[in-house]
Amino acid sequence: MAIRLGRGTAELASRPAILGQAAVGGQTEQEGPLGHVFAQVFAEAHLGEKCWEMAETRLQQASMSHALERAHCAPEGIDLHLGGDLLNQCSATSFALRELGIPLAGIYSACASFAQALAMGALALESGAFGKVSACASSHFCAAEKQFRFPLEFGGQAPPTAQRTATAAGAAILGTGVGPRISRVIFGKVTDLGVKNANEMGAAMAPAAWDTLKRFLQDTESKPGDFDMILTGDLGGIGSALLQELARTEAGLDIASVHQDCGLLLYDTEEQDAGVGGSGVGCSAAVLCGEIFPKLQSGELRRVLFLGTGALLSAVSPLQGESIPAVAHGVELTADS
């Protein structure tokens, strides 16, 4: 049985393990600092498909295929899949699962979806009624530009505060066995301090990240120094600075020495014209699966708090005058020993 540590905060008795994981990405992602972590790279953005949406489905399928192989598991061995993406009606996930045949629980919390998938997958395992579960999330630069901004052919320019949506996916197989463990989870509250500019996602999400981090530290009686890394995904440069400032001014906490952000890890923002960093749920999913889980496996990292952050706007809500609600879900990951 899990233990209630606070409102929406759970400690898992079974501490489910990551049995296998994989990240896949596009050309720009390979050219970045984490280019070496991808199980597969797709140089051509269509991935052999005729539309960007179906290309994103292929990203999910590729990441699942590699993760299953590494976990020595067939799709038939998975009892439940938790998946999400940014496309309207989460269609990359639904179409990817059409071929995998795993019972699907679709989730949505924008770029916090991979954190939510891990948290809900761990809770499902904790219930005792599922053998293995899988989690996957994706994003695609071209699909996101088309849906949220302009088709690429328009040649729109991104303002300097914008983040670049990653063409990437990450997948993980969870169950009983050897691997990094999920020891605690926390679900975030929707937070909105009034940012209305859809190119200021980092600023919109930083207060949500702080709210969840603050609650997690309180509920678990932890301090930032207890973690090798507090990893947000994805606040980018501006949002990361704001989170660190919120921690300093609201609670006197200096998190700069342990705080990293998936959006800043994935790209060399200056060299790669990636704005203030990466975004898109595929960014944090790929950084987790490609970089963080392996470092927990090797013991290079021992304890990581992953805070997935999502901006819960729709493509029309900013045009209707609404500010941007945001959420952050947290997963505490520990090395297996």
**Contact track, a copy of itself, 24-63, x by CB under 8 A:** --------------------------xx-xx---------
Owner of token pair 């991935």: 47
For a copy of itself, give the closer residue by CB, 148 or 272. Answer: 148
Task: Return d(Cα 22, Cα 30) in angstroms, integer.
Answer: 14
Asked whether the beta carbons of 184 and 15 are under 8 A apart, the reply is no
**152 binds a copy of itself, rule: CB under 8 A:** no
**214 binds a copy of itself, rule: CB under 8 A:** no
Residues 131-150 that bind a copy of itself (CB under 8 A): 131
**79 binds a copy of itself, rule: CB under 8 A:** yes
**102 binds a copy of itself, rule: CB under 8 A:** yes
For a copy of itself, give the closer residue by CB, 119 or 301. Answer: 119
Query: Quick one: which of 32, 180, 188, 202 contacts a copy of itself (CB under 8 A)?
Result: 188
Query: Quick one: which of 36, 155, 257, 316 contacts a copy of itself (CB under 8 A)?
Result: 316
Range 313-327 burial, b when 16+ CB lie within 10 A, else e: beeeebeeeeebbbb
Structure tokens at 33: 């600092």
Query: Which part of the chain contacts a copy of itself (CB under 8 A), choosing from 23-31, 37-45, 270-278, 318-326?
Result: 318-326
Closest separation between CB of residue 313 and a copy of itself, Å? 7
Asked whether the beta carbons of 116 and 83 are under 8 A apart, the reply is no
Q: Which neighbouring-strand residues pair with 182?
A: 333
**282 binds a copy of itself, rule: CB under 8 A:** no
Structure tokens at 233: 């995904």
Distances 164 to 2, 175, 189, 293, 304 between C-alpha atoms, Å: 37, 33, 25, 23, 25
For a copy of itself, give the closer residue by CB, 27 or 89. Answer: 89
**247 binds a copy of itself, rule: CB under 8 A:** no
The strand pair at 229-233 and 259-261 is best described as parallel
DSSP secondary-structure letter at 209? H
Task: Return d(Cα 324, Cα 322) in angstroms, integer.
Answer: 7
**196 binds a copy of itself, rule: CB under 8 A:** no
User: Would you call the peptide bond into 336 cis, given omega within 30 degrees of 0 as the criterion?
Assistant: no
CA dihedral of residues 311, 315, 318, 321 (deg, nearest 10): -130
User: Would you call the peptide bond into 234 cis, given omega within 30 degrees of 0 as the criterion?
Assistant: yes
For a copy of itself, give the closer residue by CB, 38 or 95. Answer: 95
**74 binds a copy of itself, rule: CB under 8 A:** no
Query: Which part of the chain contacts a copy of itself (CB under 8 A), choosing from 36-44, 189-197, 245-253, 277-285?
Result: 189-197
Residue ranges that bind a copy of itself, judged by CB under 8 A: 1-5, 7-12, 50-51, 53-54, 79-80, 84, 86-91, 94-95, 97-98, 101-110, 116, 119-120, 123-124, 126-131, 186-190, 192, 312-317, 320, 322, 325, 327, 329
